[in-house]
Structure 1
């Protein structure tokens, strides 16, 4: 707990030993910070997505591809998490380079918003 008003929870990111995603909670808000994460089963501790699902805001810091992971599947999964956050009135900040899969993600989220 920080300063008695903010709780901080480290969640396994499945990326490397000691790597984590973070959830910052106050009495009224939940902010998720998603760092480099991996769904590969060879990592020592699997990623825990469920702890970030109810965040009011989600900060994404890394989107990348591995040979056995579908970028299309990643775009759909991230887009769904973004849409869930936006539907609850939350915000999503994604500081990423404007290349590759990010355009697919923007397109999927945009169409989902139009169809909502």
Structure 2
């Protein structure tokens, strides 16, 4: 597969504790826990969107711009069809609603990686 300079997730193995919180937010299935650490299993599966970043309590994930295999929707489709994901439902830290009730998104508050629903987000932003 061809390489191109593009955004891609980087995982700092020194900081990673292997908690697995970054696995579920990756819709493409690019992150798995292997040998007790989170790893991008194939560069072509990572779209570089970074939805996983806010979930890491250790700050081990970043998005960097570097030479990497090009993102492939076809590879993602094949991977997700043959590897059903472990689903860890997330809840809003303010109201407790889960992502089946309302859309939720990762956020950082007071140094913690949390999830917030779209109903609670305005109060979090505006106080």
Greater Cα radius of gyration, structure 1 or 2: 2
Greater helix proportion:
1
Normalised to the residue count of structure 2, the TM-score between the two structures is 0.27
Greater strand proportion:
2
Which structure has more relative contact order (CA 8 Å, sep 6+)? It is 2
Normalised to the residue count of structure 1, the TM-score between the two structures is 0.29
